[in-house]
A and B are shown apart, each in its own frame.
Chain A
Amino acid sequence: MYRLLIALIISLVVLSFLTKDQNQNFDELAFGIETTGSNAKGENNDLIHIEKLNDFEELYTDWINRGENDIILLLGNSQYHTINQMKKGDVVLSQILYDYYKKDDIDFITNSLPNVNLQEQYLIFEYFSRRLPIKLLILPVFMDDTREDDIRFGLPEYLKKNVNYSQNNSVIHKLFSTEIQQTQDDIAGLKETFQEKVEYSINQYLNKHSQKWSRRGSLRSELFIKLYRFRNSLFGITPSSKRKKITGPYKNNIYAYKLILGHCQSLGINALIYIPPIRNDVEIPYDKKEYIDFKNEIKNIAKMNDAYFLDFENIIPQEYWGSKASTAIDNDLETDFMHFQFKGHKILADTLLMHINSDILLR
């Protein structure tokens, strides 16, 4: 019994020490210290750039209040809501493009999510297209994001509740069979039981009265971050390490990509597909052959579906990229392949403008 009591005291001391500081979370770790999150905003702080569908209704109301303009929709990943080495006055490309098209009574709307895969993009696009008059879809297709295979970001919860799907495809099937996301909920295992209410109340009480208890989520994150860093150090994994194509997720995402383009065709929405910028001063973090095959496949499918295809891989010079904090145990900065500086955003925005305006994409 004494051993148990001493162990309890030791545990309390250790937990007090662990719960003392607020530390970084996974998102911060992915961006690194040099990269700052930034979203485009309309006049009067109108919502024109969202990162979760729960914000869609506010975006929709703001769009109505602005006069229900036609829409250019950009679906991107964290490249579109972050700026490397951000300075005062720096904005993301969505802001530049929104401001540009304002005069033409066209709303440039953006939805960007970190590491979002094409299956999620399909579901988001399908939902947006139900609610908004989209004239043009802009979709950067990242090799990195084809390695993701889950339906995340609260999409199952939101879409299952708000949408009746008439079409039947494997992405919608996956959406409805996705249970994994529920594990984010701390008491998902008690769903629809009497215990759910009791457990919830106890948790609320403990969160309110115990700092140690309320910090448990952060402690779990910190532990996983430490494991992640340890793994990276142990195996020498850096952002420059080669990321292999993963067959299953890759094929599922290519299938979703075809669905997006098919949906564009059926609704008469123009589509601008491009290979996004990547650092070209160092070796890319993909198997070269796989990357070339990927680009060709994206291009061929775009062409087959009458979409406009561009390759922006090399348009941003090396000086407009940056680095990110180490993802290993050491503190050395590492190459950031994904997030560029404001000037990179400007170049990409100008390039997009040039292509959109010189072609028939908005007619």
Chain B
Amino acid sequence: MIFNSVTYLLFLLIVTILYWSFNIKARLYLVFFASLLFYAFWKIEFVSLMLISAINDYWMSILITETDSIKKKKMFLSISLFVNLGLLFVFKYLFFFTDNIQSIVELTGFDINIPLFNLILPLGISFYTFQTISYTVDVYRGFIKPQKDFITYGCYVMFFPQLVAGPILRAGEVIHQFLEKKQFQSNYIVYGIERILYGLFLKTVLADNIAPFVDRGFMTSASYLSALDVWTLAFLFGFQIYFDFSAYSHIAIGSAKLMGINFPENFNFPYSATSFKEFWKRWHISLSSWIRDYLYLPLKGAKVEDRSTGGLQIEKNKKIGKNNSALFITWAIMGLWHGANWTFVVWGLYHSILIYLERFFNGWNKFLFNSHRKFIGLIITLPLVMLGWIPFRAKNVDETIKMLLKIIDYREYGYLGLRENTYLITLLMLIIFFVGYLYKQHLKPWLIHSNSLTKYITSTIEYAFLIIFVFIFLRPINQFIYFQF
């Protein structure tokens, strides 16, 4: 089910009413079956695939705790990983793999036709697979005890607000919330609706209306674009993907809150980051944290954590140069997680280089005042992060290279190759982002804390504004970008 639809809002309304009418046990069943229904609204045949992944980890995690043998624990963990990663490989990477093998074979001069398996990518497979992996690994690590009740466990794995595009949750954060005897509170509803309205506004009013400009720009051959066009498209897609994906997270957090369940934040105004490290503490925080704890830190042999917050923390005490391969491997995999295409690997490696360089030059600006340091950090970080979206969105690596080469060619700065509105919209989005940031971070808290009347008026106007725009623009014309991952 897609969030930006009337169907979802009705579904959510019914589930929320039933949820608060039921006792705890019935609530668990409600959430479990509502989640299956939510997924079946996309394609019913893929529900079984999700269940296979869930049952596999449910079973393996119990077997891991029931044995004292380290060897057997490792074996059960390996089976879990094999099934999860196997499903992911077959449905997401098999075509990419066979296609690349075919290309290599052709390069060597052999005339062999390798069958290509271009399968439908099951919605949310990258998300629920990572979630189930984290569950089994956490049981293996002893962070949590396995959940014996399959319905409760199923609620954690398949809880519909986060099922198809996160946030990627840790069992330790969520399962206990399903089991708590919560009483209905009106602030759950108010806060939940507020977040849902924000999400729908970002998706339907901003992201969906930027999309045609982005699509048109990236459809244009790179040879017809100027350097300024490349910058413009980088920024514009950067805003589209941010509004789109953070919208999903807002709606997920809001939907869960309606049932009294707290999700960790997944975004925190990432484009206001003053360093690359900070950016990854603000962007897709639950994935960055997952990558940190289940890939990066194990590769470095460092201690891991049991929380999906904090983003991609980089240890302070490790000297630069020591095991940097972990950084690059992690980022290449992070890129590949987003999609079976070399462009995503390029995007991942680009970010690993930025982080590496930041570590290398760490402290170069210590002589500056803090505010100056932040400002310089912002004007370095923002364009370079945005430029990273070029490989992420470009048709292929060839186009990516052509577009990025334009940036460093001064002769490419003398003309424009996009419709005039594209530049205007990009500028407008930049303004909207920073005005939104200043409002949410500074003006709104001040208004709310100044006196109760301003608090009342501010939030009433804000809600009315959001309701009107969402009412006018709500329609599922586009899926969320992250559905394809």
Contacts and interface: CB of A to CB of B under 8 A. Distances in A.
Contacts of B415: 247
A196 B386 CA distance: 34
Chain B interface size band reads 35 or more
Contact of A220 (B7, B193, B424, B472): B472
Contacts of B478: 183, 188-189
B193 A4 contact: yes
B375 interface: no
B408 interface: no
B372 interface: no
B355 interface: no
A251 B224 contact: yes
Contacts of B172: none
Interface stretch (A5-13, A119-127, A262-270, A295-303): A5-13
Contacts of A198: 7, 41
A165 to B, nearest CB: 19
Interface stretch (A58-66, A199-207, A323-331): A199-207
B468 A11 contact: yes
Nearest to B8: A195
Given A14-B468, A220-B472, A231-B424, A195 B477 contact: no
B2 A147 contact: no
Given A183-B212, A219-B472, A3 B5 contact: no
A169 B472 CA distance: 40
A220 B2 CA distance: 21
Chain A interface size band reads 35 or more
Contacts of B95: none
Given A246-B417, A246-B419, A3 B7 contact: no
Interface in A120-172: 147, 149-150
Given A7-B464, A11-B467, A247-B417, A202 B224 contact: no
Given A7-B463, A195-B2, A202 B10 contact: yes
B43 interface: yes
A15 B468 CA distance: 7
Contacts of B417: 246-248
A8 B466 CA distance: 10
Contacts of A194: 40-44
A362 interface: no
B4 interface: yes
A193 B44 CA distance: 9
A216 interface: yes
Interface in A282-339: none
A216 B419 contact: no
A55 interface: no
Contacts of A33: none
Contact of B475 (A14, A179, A186, A195): A186
Interface stretch (B62-70, B213-221, B288-296): B213-221
Nearest to A10: B464
A190 interface: yes
A280 B58 CA distance: 78
Question: 5 shortest A-B CB distances, which residue pairs?
Answer: A248-B224, A7-B463, A11-B467, A189-B476, A248-B220
16 contacts: A3-B460, A4-B194, A11-B471, A150-B216, A186-B477, A187-B477, A189-B476, A190-B476, A193-B43, A194-B42, A195-B1, A202-B6, A216-B471, A231-B421, A246-B419, A251-B224
Given A1-B190, A246-B417, A246-B419, 20 more contacts: A7-B461, A7-B464, A11-B468, A179-B215, A186-B477, A187-B477, A189-B2, A189-B477, A193-B41, A193-B42, A193-B43, A194-B41, A194-B44, A195-B7, A199-B6, A199-B7, A202-B7, A203-B6, A249-B220, A251-B224
